[in-house]
Amino acid sequence: MFDKLEDILIRFKELEDEMLDPYVTNDTNRYRKLRKELADLTDIAEKYKEYKNTKARMEDSLTMLDEESDEELREMAKEELNECKANIVKIEEELKILLLPKDPNDDKNVIVEIRGGAGGDEAALFAAELYRMYVQYADRNRWKIDMMNLNENGIGGFKEVIFMINGKGAYSKLKYESGVHRVQRVPVTESGGRIHTSTATVAIMPEAEEVDVELDMGDCKFDVFRASGNGGQCVNTTDSAVRLTHIPTGIVISCQDEKSQLKNKDKALKILRSKLYELELEKAQSAEAEARKSQIGTGDRSEKIRTYNFPQGRVTDHRIKLTIHQLEAVMNGDLQEIIDSLTAADQAAKLTNMQEE
Protein backbone atom coordinates (compact mmCIF):
# COMPACT_ATOMS: atom_id res chain seq x y z
CA MET A 1 0.00 0.00 0.00
CA PHE A 2 2.73 2.45 0.95
CA ASP A 3 4.67 1.85 -2.28
CA LYS A 4 1.54 2.84 -4.17
CA LEU A 5 1.09 5.90 -1.96
CA GLU A 6 4.68 6.99 -2.61
CA ASP A 7 4.09 6.69 -6.36
CA ILE A 8 0.93 8.78 -6.04
CA LEU A 9 2.77 11.47 -4.07
CA ILE A 10 5.54 11.61 -6.68
CA ARG A 11 2.99 11.95 -9.47
CA PHE A 12 1.12 14.62 -7.49
CA LYS A 13 4.29 16.73 -7.18
CA GLU A 14 5.03 16.25 -10.89
CA LEU A 15 1.55 17.48 -11.77
CA GLU A 16 1.91 20.54 -9.54
CA ASP A 17 5.16 21.43 -11.34
CA GLU A 18 3.67 20.80 -14.79
CA MET A 19 0.70 23.05 -14.05
CA LEU A 20 3.12 25.95 -13.59
CA ASP A 21 4.80 25.38 -16.96
CA PRO A 22 3.84 28.19 -19.42
CA TYR A 23 3.71 25.68 -22.30
CA VAL A 24 1.06 23.70 -20.41
CA THR A 25 -0.99 26.73 -19.36
CA ASN A 26 -1.14 27.83 -22.99
CA ASP A 27 -2.43 24.42 -24.12
CA THR A 28 -6.08 24.43 -22.99
CA ASN A 29 -6.77 20.73 -23.56
CA ARG A 30 -3.59 19.54 -21.85
CA TYR A 31 -4.11 21.96 -18.96
CA ARG A 32 -7.68 20.72 -18.45
CA LYS A 33 -6.55 17.09 -18.52
CA LEU A 34 -3.75 17.69 -15.99
CA ARG A 35 -6.03 19.72 -13.73
CA LYS A 36 -8.52 16.83 -13.59
CA GLU A 37 -5.76 14.32 -12.80
CA LEU A 38 -4.43 16.63 -10.09
CA ALA A 39 -7.92 17.02 -8.60
CA ASP A 40 -8.37 13.21 -8.57
CA LEU A 41 -5.11 12.77 -6.62
CA THR A 42 -5.41 15.73 -4.25
CA ASP A 43 -7.40 14.07 -1.43
CA ILE A 44 -5.19 11.00 -1.22
CA ALA A 45 -1.93 12.98 -1.58
CA GLU A 46 -2.94 15.37 1.21
CA LYS A 47 -4.03 12.49 3.44
CA TYR A 48 -0.72 10.68 2.85
CA LYS A 49 1.20 13.87 3.70
CA GLU A 50 -0.79 14.03 6.94
CA TYR A 51 0.16 10.39 7.61
CA LYS A 52 3.88 11.09 7.05
CA ASN A 53 3.79 14.19 9.26
CA THR A 54 2.08 12.22 12.03
CA LYS A 55 4.69 9.44 11.74
CA ALA A 56 7.47 12.05 12.02
CA ARG A 57 5.85 13.51 15.16
CA MET A 58 5.61 9.99 16.61
CA GLU A 59 9.33 9.39 15.93
CA ASP A 60 10.20 12.70 17.62
CA SER A 61 8.17 11.70 20.68
CA LEU A 62 9.96 8.34 20.89
CA THR A 63 13.32 10.07 20.63
CA MET A 64 12.37 12.48 23.41
CA LEU A 65 11.32 9.59 25.65
CA ASP A 66 14.70 7.90 25.06
CA GLU A 67 16.83 10.99 25.63
CA GLU A 68 14.90 13.28 27.96
CA SER A 69 15.24 12.98 31.75
CA ASP A 70 12.87 15.80 32.72
CA GLU A 71 9.70 14.08 33.93
CA GLU A 72 7.35 16.85 32.78
CA LEU A 73 8.77 16.77 29.24
CA ARG A 74 8.59 12.98 29.22
CA GLU A 75 4.92 13.15 30.18
CA MET A 76 4.27 15.57 27.31
CA ALA A 77 6.10 13.21 24.94
CA LYS A 78 3.94 10.29 26.12
CA GLU A 79 0.75 12.26 25.46
CA GLU A 80 1.99 13.23 22.00
CA LEU A 81 2.95 9.61 21.27
CA ASN A 82 -0.47 8.26 22.27
CA GLU A 83 -2.25 10.91 20.21
CA CYS A 84 -0.09 10.12 17.17
CA LYS A 85 -0.69 6.36 17.50
CA ALA A 86 -4.46 6.90 17.57
CA ASN A 87 -4.29 9.24 14.57
CA ILE A 88 -2.10 6.80 12.60
CA VAL A 89 -4.73 4.04 12.91
CA LYS A 90 -7.48 6.45 11.82
CA ILE A 91 -5.50 7.84 8.87
CA GLU A 92 -4.51 4.34 7.67
CA GLU A 93 -8.20 3.38 7.47
CA GLU A 94 -8.99 6.58 5.57
CA LEU A 95 -6.11 5.88 3.15
CA LYS A 96 -7.42 2.37 2.47
CA ILE A 97 -10.80 3.82 1.50
CA LEU A 98 -9.18 6.51 -0.69
CA LEU A 99 -7.20 3.79 -2.49
CA LEU A 100 -10.34 1.84 -3.43
CA PRO A 101 -10.94 1.91 -7.21
CA LYS A 102 -13.09 4.93 -8.00
CA ASP A 103 -16.33 4.46 -9.91
CA PRO A 104 -15.71 6.37 -13.17
CA ASN A 105 -19.35 7.50 -13.17
CA ASP A 106 -19.30 9.05 -9.69
CA ASP A 107 -18.93 12.65 -10.87
CA LYS A 108 -21.65 12.38 -13.50
CA ASN A 109 -25.13 13.86 -13.58
CA VAL A 110 -27.95 11.35 -13.21
CA ILE A 111 -31.19 10.59 -14.98
CA VAL A 112 -33.82 9.44 -12.48
CA GLU A 113 -36.82 7.36 -13.56
CA ILE A 114 -39.62 6.78 -11.03
CA ARG A 115 -42.65 4.61 -11.82
CA GLY A 116 -45.69 3.76 -9.75
CA GLY A 117 -45.72 0.00 -9.06
CA ALA A 118 -48.19 -2.22 -7.22
CA GLY A 119 -51.02 -0.28 -5.62
CA GLY A 120 -52.78 1.69 -8.36
CA ASP A 121 -53.45 5.35 -7.52
CA GLU A 122 -51.72 5.05 -4.14
CA ALA A 123 -48.54 3.82 -5.87
CA ALA A 124 -48.69 6.79 -8.23
CA LEU A 125 -49.13 9.19 -5.30
CA PHE A 126 -46.12 7.61 -3.59
CA ALA A 127 -44.08 7.95 -6.81
CA ALA A 128 -44.89 11.68 -6.80
CA GLU A 129 -43.72 11.94 -3.17
CA LEU A 130 -40.47 10.15 -4.00
CA TYR A 131 -39.94 12.66 -6.82
CA ARG A 132 -40.40 15.56 -4.40
CA MET A 133 -38.06 13.86 -1.91
CA TYR A 134 -35.25 13.67 -4.49
CA VAL A 135 -35.91 17.23 -5.69
CA GLN A 136 -35.55 18.52 -2.12
CA TYR A 137 -32.38 16.45 -1.62
CA ALA A 138 -31.03 17.97 -4.84
CA ASP A 139 -31.88 21.46 -3.54
CA ARG A 140 -29.91 20.76 -0.36
CA ASN A 141 -26.89 19.96 -2.55
CA ARG A 142 -27.53 22.95 -4.85
CA TRP A 143 -28.05 20.68 -7.82
CA LYS A 144 -30.26 21.62 -10.77
CA ILE A 145 -33.38 19.66 -11.82
CA ASP A 146 -34.39 19.30 -15.45
CA MET A 147 -37.77 17.64 -16.08
CA MET A 148 -37.67 15.23 -19.03
CA ASN A 149 -41.03 13.48 -19.04
CA LEU A 150 -44.05 13.31 -16.77
CA ASN A 151 -47.14 11.10 -16.93
CA GLU A 152 -49.69 12.05 -14.25
CA ASN A 153 -52.76 10.11 -13.10
CA GLY A 154 -55.15 13.03 -12.55
CA ILE A 155 -55.20 13.10 -8.73
CA GLY A 156 -51.67 14.38 -8.19
CA GLY A 157 -49.88 11.07 -8.62
CA PHE A 158 -47.21 10.17 -11.14
CA LYS A 159 -47.50 7.02 -13.24
CA GLU A 160 -44.01 7.82 -14.48
CA VAL A 161 -41.59 10.71 -14.10
CA ILE A 162 -38.16 11.05 -15.68
CA PHE A 163 -35.86 13.93 -14.75
CA MET A 164 -32.20 14.83 -14.75
CA ILE A 165 -30.20 15.97 -11.73
CA ASN A 166 -27.27 18.13 -12.78
CA GLY A 167 -24.55 18.37 -10.14
CA LYS A 168 -21.01 17.24 -9.45
CA GLY A 169 -21.02 13.91 -7.64
CA ALA A 170 -24.77 13.35 -8.10
CA TYR A 171 -24.28 9.73 -9.20
CA SER A 172 -21.89 8.97 -6.32
CA LYS A 173 -24.61 10.01 -3.85
CA LEU A 174 -27.70 8.59 -5.55
CA LYS A 175 -26.47 5.37 -7.20
CA TYR A 176 -27.72 3.23 -4.29
CA GLU A 177 -31.32 4.44 -4.75
CA SER A 178 -32.17 2.08 -7.65
CA GLY A 179 -34.73 -0.54 -6.74
CA VAL A 180 -38.21 -1.04 -5.32
CA HIS A 181 -39.35 1.44 -2.65
CA ARG A 182 -42.26 0.24 -0.54
CA VAL A 183 -44.75 2.38 1.38
CA GLN A 184 -47.02 1.21 4.21
CA ARG A 185 -49.82 3.59 5.21
CA VAL A 186 -53.54 4.32 5.06
CA PRO A 187 -54.10 5.69 1.54
CA VAL A 188 -56.15 8.84 1.05
CA THR A 189 -58.36 6.73 -1.23
CA GLU A 190 -59.09 4.24 1.62
CA SER A 191 -62.29 4.92 3.56
CA GLY A 192 -61.97 2.02 6.01
CA GLY A 193 -58.70 3.15 7.62
CA ARG A 194 -56.80 0.00 6.63
CA ILE A 195 -53.04 0.08 6.09
CA HIS A 196 -52.05 -0.75 2.52
CA THR A 197 -48.68 -1.65 1.04
CA SER A 198 -47.77 -0.08 -2.30
CA THR A 199 -44.57 0.21 -4.28
CA ALA A 200 -42.71 2.44 -6.71
CA THR A 201 -39.57 1.63 -8.67
CA VAL A 202 -36.61 3.99 -8.93
CA ALA A 203 -33.87 3.75 -11.55
CA ILE A 204 -30.74 5.88 -11.25
CA MET A 205 -28.73 6.11 -14.46
CA PRO A 206 -25.48 8.06 -14.98
CA GLU A 207 -25.83 10.58 -17.79
CA ALA A 208 -24.13 9.09 -20.84
CA GLU A 209 -22.17 11.32 -23.17
CA GLU A 210 -21.95 10.59 -26.88
CA VAL A 211 -18.44 9.19 -26.32
CA ASP A 212 -19.82 6.70 -23.76
CA VAL A 213 -22.35 5.10 -26.12
CA GLU A 214 -22.06 4.49 -29.84
CA LEU A 215 -25.58 5.20 -31.06
CA ASP A 216 -26.55 4.43 -34.66
CA MET A 217 -29.33 6.84 -35.60
CA GLY A 218 -30.46 4.29 -38.18
CA ASP A 219 -31.57 2.15 -35.21
CA CYS A 220 -33.80 4.96 -33.93
CA LYS A 221 -37.40 5.52 -35.03
CA PHE A 222 -39.07 8.83 -34.17
CA ASP A 223 -42.82 9.46 -34.05
CA VAL A 224 -44.39 12.81 -33.20
CA PHE A 225 -47.77 13.37 -31.58
CA ARG A 226 -49.77 16.01 -29.78
CA ALA A 227 -48.85 16.36 -26.11
CA SER A 228 -51.47 15.71 -23.45
CA GLY A 229 -51.93 17.01 -19.94
CA ASN A 230 -50.93 20.38 -18.47
CA GLY A 231 -48.73 22.57 -20.59
CA GLY A 232 -50.26 25.96 -21.36
CA GLN A 233 -51.49 27.34 -24.65
CA CYS A 234 -49.04 25.77 -27.11
CA VAL A 235 -48.08 22.35 -25.87
CA ASN A 236 -51.45 20.70 -26.54
CA THR A 237 -52.07 22.30 -29.96
CA THR A 238 -48.94 21.27 -31.88
CA ASP A 239 -47.26 17.95 -32.63
CA SER A 240 -44.40 18.70 -30.23
CA ALA A 241 -44.29 15.40 -28.29
CA VAL A 242 -41.77 12.79 -29.42
CA ARG A 243 -41.78 9.00 -29.14
CA LEU A 244 -38.38 7.38 -29.70
CA THR A 245 -38.11 3.64 -30.36
CA HIS A 246 -34.70 1.97 -30.28
CA ILE A 247 -35.24 -0.94 -32.66
CA PRO A 248 -32.44 -3.35 -31.50
CA THR A 249 -33.45 -3.24 -27.81
CA GLY A 250 -37.13 -2.35 -28.08
CA ILE A 251 -36.68 0.56 -25.65
CA VAL A 252 -39.46 3.16 -26.10
CA ILE A 253 -39.14 6.68 -24.71
CA SER A 254 -41.74 9.44 -24.83
CA CYS A 255 -40.95 13.10 -24.14
CA GLN A 256 -43.55 15.88 -24.15
CA ASP A 257 -42.39 18.27 -21.44
CA GLU A 258 -41.02 20.89 -23.85
CA LYS A 259 -43.04 22.93 -26.36
CA SER A 260 -40.31 22.37 -28.93
CA GLN A 261 -40.25 19.08 -30.84
CA LEU A 262 -36.47 19.47 -31.25
CA LYS A 263 -35.93 19.84 -27.50
CA ASN A 264 -38.12 16.82 -26.76
CA LYS A 265 -36.13 14.81 -29.32
CA ASP A 266 -32.87 15.86 -27.65
CA LYS A 267 -34.16 14.82 -24.22
CA ALA A 268 -35.37 11.46 -25.56
CA LEU A 269 -31.90 10.79 -26.99
CA LYS A 270 -30.29 11.67 -23.65
CA ILE A 271 -32.54 9.18 -21.86
CA LEU A 272 -31.85 6.50 -24.49
CA ARG A 273 -28.07 6.93 -24.22
CA SER A 274 -28.26 6.60 -20.44
CA LYS A 275 -30.47 3.49 -20.67
CA LEU A 276 -28.07 1.85 -23.14
CA TYR A 277 -25.12 2.84 -20.97
CA GLU A 278 -26.85 1.32 -17.94
CA LEU A 279 -27.33 -1.94 -19.86
CA GLU A 280 -23.59 -2.02 -20.58
CA LEU A 281 -22.83 -1.38 -16.89
CA GLU A 282 -25.12 -4.25 -15.86
CA LYS A 283 -23.32 -6.59 -18.27
CA ALA A 284 -19.95 -5.55 -16.83
CA GLN A 285 -21.19 -6.08 -13.27
CA SER A 286 -22.51 -9.53 -14.14
CA ALA A 287 -19.16 -10.46 -15.66
CA GLU A 288 -17.35 -9.42 -12.47
CA ALA A 289 -19.13 -11.48 -9.83
CA GLU A 290 -16.89 -10.45 -6.95
CA ALA A 291 -17.23 -6.78 -7.78
CA ARG A 292 -20.97 -7.16 -7.85
CA LYS A 293 -20.99 -8.81 -4.41
CA SER A 294 -19.24 -5.77 -2.99
CA GLN A 295 -21.97 -3.41 -4.14
CA ILE A 296 -24.91 -2.42 -2.01
CA GLY A 297 -27.74 -3.11 -4.43
CA THR A 298 -26.84 -0.71 -7.23
CA GLY A 299 -28.68 -1.06 -10.49
CA ASP A 300 -31.15 -3.84 -9.70
CA ARG A 301 -34.64 -2.44 -10.18
CA SER A 302 -36.36 -5.62 -8.93
CA GLU A 303 -34.73 -5.54 -5.50
CA LYS A 304 -36.88 -4.30 -2.60
CA ILE A 305 -34.47 -1.85 -1.01
CA ARG A 306 -36.46 0.32 1.40
CA THR A 307 -39.73 0.56 3.33
CA TYR A 308 -41.39 3.82 4.38
CA ASN A 309 -43.78 2.99 7.24
CA PHE A 310 -46.01 6.00 7.96
CA PRO A 311 -47.94 4.68 11.01
CA GLN A 312 -44.65 4.03 12.83
CA GLY A 313 -42.83 7.04 11.37
CA ARG A 314 -39.86 4.93 10.30
CA VAL A 315 -37.73 4.23 7.25
CA THR A 316 -35.91 0.90 6.91
CA ASP A 317 -33.21 0.16 4.35
CA HIS A 318 -33.24 -3.62 4.01
CA ARG A 319 -29.78 -3.97 2.41
CA ILE A 320 -27.89 -2.72 5.46
CA LYS A 321 -30.67 -3.28 8.03
CA LEU A 322 -30.75 0.41 8.91
CA THR A 323 -33.90 1.80 10.56
CA ILE A 324 -34.35 5.46 11.40
CA HIS A 325 -37.45 7.02 12.98
CA GLN A 326 -37.35 10.27 11.02
CA LEU A 327 -39.78 9.56 8.21
CA GLU A 328 -41.01 13.14 7.83
CA ALA A 329 -37.45 14.48 7.54
CA VAL A 330 -36.53 11.81 4.97
CA MET A 331 -39.60 12.58 2.84
CA ASN A 332 -38.52 16.23 2.97
CA GLY A 333 -35.18 15.35 1.39
CA ASP A 334 -33.02 14.62 4.43
CA LEU A 335 -31.42 11.50 2.94
CA GLN A 336 -27.83 12.08 4.00
CA GLU A 337 -27.76 9.65 6.95
CA ILE A 338 -29.08 6.84 4.74
CA ILE A 339 -26.73 7.66 1.86
CA ASP A 340 -23.70 7.92 4.16
CA SER A 341 -24.55 4.57 5.75
CA LEU A 342 -24.92 2.88 2.34
CA THR A 343 -21.62 4.36 1.15
CA ALA A 344 -19.82 3.20 4.30
CA ALA A 345 -21.27 -0.32 3.98
CA ASP A 346 -20.23 -0.53 0.33
CA GLN A 347 -16.69 0.65 1.14
CA ALA A 348 -16.42 -1.87 4.00
CA ALA A 349 -17.51 -4.72 1.71
CA LYS A 350 -15.00 -3.68 -0.95
CA LEU A 351 -12.21 -3.46 1.64
CA THR A 352 -13.04 -6.96 2.84
CA ASN A 353 -12.95 -8.29 -0.73
CA MET A 354 -9.65 -6.55 -1.39
CA GLN A 355 -8.08 -8.08 1.72
CA GLU A 356 -9.31 -11.56 0.73
CA GLU A 357 -7.80 -11.34 -2.76
One domain for residues 125 and 63: no
Domain count, the chain: 2
Q: Which domain holds residue 196?
A: 110-349
For residue 104, being part of any structural domain is answered with no
Q: Mind listing the pLDDT tens digit for each residue in 167-185?
A: 988 999 999 999 999 999 9
The answer on 158 and 245 residing in a single domain is yes
Percent of the chain with pLDDT over 70: 90
- What is the model's pLDDT at position 234? 45
69 with 92, same domain: the answer is yes
Q: Write the pLDDT tens digit of every residue in 10-56.
A: 999 999 988 888 888 888 888 888 888 898 899 899 999 999 999 99
Residue 161 located in a structural domain: yes
Is the same domain home to 116 and 199? yes
Task: Tell me the C-alpha distance between 146 and 163, whole Å.
Answer: 6
Residue at 354 is within a domain: no
* Per-residue DSSP letter, 219: G
The residue among 98, 131, 150 that closes a domain is 98
d(CA 276, CA 50): 42
Q: Are 92 and 117 members of one domain?
A: no
The answer on 117 and 76 residing in a single domain is no
153-163: pLDDT as tens digits? 888 899 999 99
- 85 pLDDT band, cuts 50/70/90, is very high
Kindly report the backbone phi and psi dihedral angles of residue 220, in degrees, each rounded to the nearest multiple of 5, phi listed first: -110, 130
Q: Is residue 139 part of a domain?
A: yes
Count of CB atoms situated within 10 Å of the CB of 324: 16
241 and 170, same structural domain? yes
With respect to residue 30, please indicate whether it lies within any of the assigned structural domains. yes
Contacts of 248-256 spanning 24+ positions with Cβ under 8 A: 248/219, 249/276, 249/279, 251/275, 251/276, 253/149, 254/149, 254/151, 255/148, 255/149, 256/149, 256/227, 256/228, 256/229, 256/231
User: Does 155 reside within a domain?
Assistant: yes
Q: What is the pLDDT of residue 215?
A: 86
Residue 62 shares a structural domain with residue 10: yes
Are 183 and 51 in the same domain? no
164 falls within a domain: yes
For residues 123 and 91, state if they share a domain. no
Local structure of 77: helix, strand or coil? helix
Q: Which of 54, 75, 98 is the last residue of a domain?
A: 98
Q: Is residue 168 a contact partner of residue 186, using CB atoms and an 8 Å limit?
A: no
pLDDT of 301 reads 55
* CATH number for position 259: 3.30.70.1660
> Which residues are bridge partners to 85 per DSSP?
none
Verify that 81 and 122 share a domain, yes or no.
Answer: no
Per-residue pLDDT of 273-286, as tens digits, reads 999 988 888 777 66
pTM: 0.73
Which among 103, 112, 110, 96 is positioned nearest to 284, based on CA atoms? Answer: 103
Residue 105 covered by a domain = no
Q: Are residues 161 and 278 in the same domain?
A: yes
Of 98, 130, 147, the residue that ends a domain is: 98
